[in-house]
Amino acid sequence: MSTQFANKVALITGGGSGIGRAIALAFAARGTAVAIGDIDPEGGAETVRLIEKKGSVGFFRVVDVTDSTAVEAFVTAVYQQFGRLDFAVNNAGIEGSNGRKITQYDQEMFEQVMDINVNGVWHSLRAELPIMEQQGHGVIVNIASIAGLLAMPRNAAYAASKHAVIGLTRSAALEYIRKGIRINAVCPGYTNTPMVARGFAQNPVMGEQLVNMIPARRLGKPEEIAGAVMYLCSDEAAFMVGQTMVLDGGIEAA
């Protein structure tokens, strides 16, 4: 068990499923107490069960990241419970609707994608940063996407939201690095989670084509994304500031 992580506290939004859950379990395996904020009560409770199974301490609150007051209350509750906040992973996100050009894209869906993926990270940063600033230390990892670096025709809303997450990450990183707070982003490619499974279930043929487009010819594993987050949170990454770490099976390089 790494001493860098043992007896510390991590907060993860959207930790009730997929990548967020894998990150929660990676922290738990290292002896970090993990607080989950998620809109899904069953998913959040299940993650806490799995955290406890790993021998660590779990904490869960239902929170909608689009609601700044709720996010603030969640982060405050975590701090009150544990008395510290070492790591925050702003991960909650939705995929929006795939397969629609801009003029056919549902306006409400566009707004929902921006609200969860961008405002959600914004609200989370605004709640986490004052606590970390007061402590004089902290590490934040925002979960962006390769869609934050590349075009995503027929889901421009998702690409726009993830480009915004990268802009927020870089700017926040420079604002806070001299306060002892290190901020980076991870950009996963297609990763095997319920989010991707939903898309594949809707269109299995497109799913197969998509895997063939990935140089590694497979989806990423949530545990692989969690591994990158662990590195970014570790002292080994002390000089990584405002970066976007890509794990995509080779898509961006191709």
Determine phi and psi for 187, rounding to 5 degrees. Answer: -115, 90
C-alpha distance from residue 229 to each of 85, 89, 142 (Å): 16, 8, 9
Task: For residue 116, state whether it binds ligand NAD (rule: CB under 6 A).
Answer: yes
Closest CB to ligand NAD among 31 and 43?
Answer: 43
From the list 158, 176, 190, 231, the catalytic residue is: 158
Task: For residue 193, state whether it binds ligand NAD (rule: CB under 6 A).
Answer: yes
* Pair of tokens at residue 151: 């075009």
One residue of 45, 50, 57, 195 binding ligand NAD per CB under 6 A: 195
* Pair of tokens at residue 105: 């894209």
CA 36 to chain centre: 12
Q: Give the nearest distance from C-beta 171 to ligand NAD in angstroms.
A: 19
Task: For residue 17, state whether it binds ligand NAD (rule: CB under 6 A).
Answer: yes
Closest CB to ligand NAD among 13 and 32?
Answer: 13
C-alpha distance from residue 32 to each of 112, 185, 188 (Å): 32, 20, 23
- Residue whose entry in the numeric block shows the structure tokens 């009150």: 80
Task: For residue 140, state whether it binds ligand NAD (rule: CB under 6 A).
Answer: no
158 given a catalytic annotation: yes
Beta strands in 14-155 (DSSP E): 33-38, 58-62, 87-90, 138-143
Contacts to ligand NAD by CB under 6 A:
13-14, 16-20, 38-40, 43, 63-66, 91-94, 116, 143, 145, 188, 190-191, 193-196
Which residues are designated catalytic?
A: 158
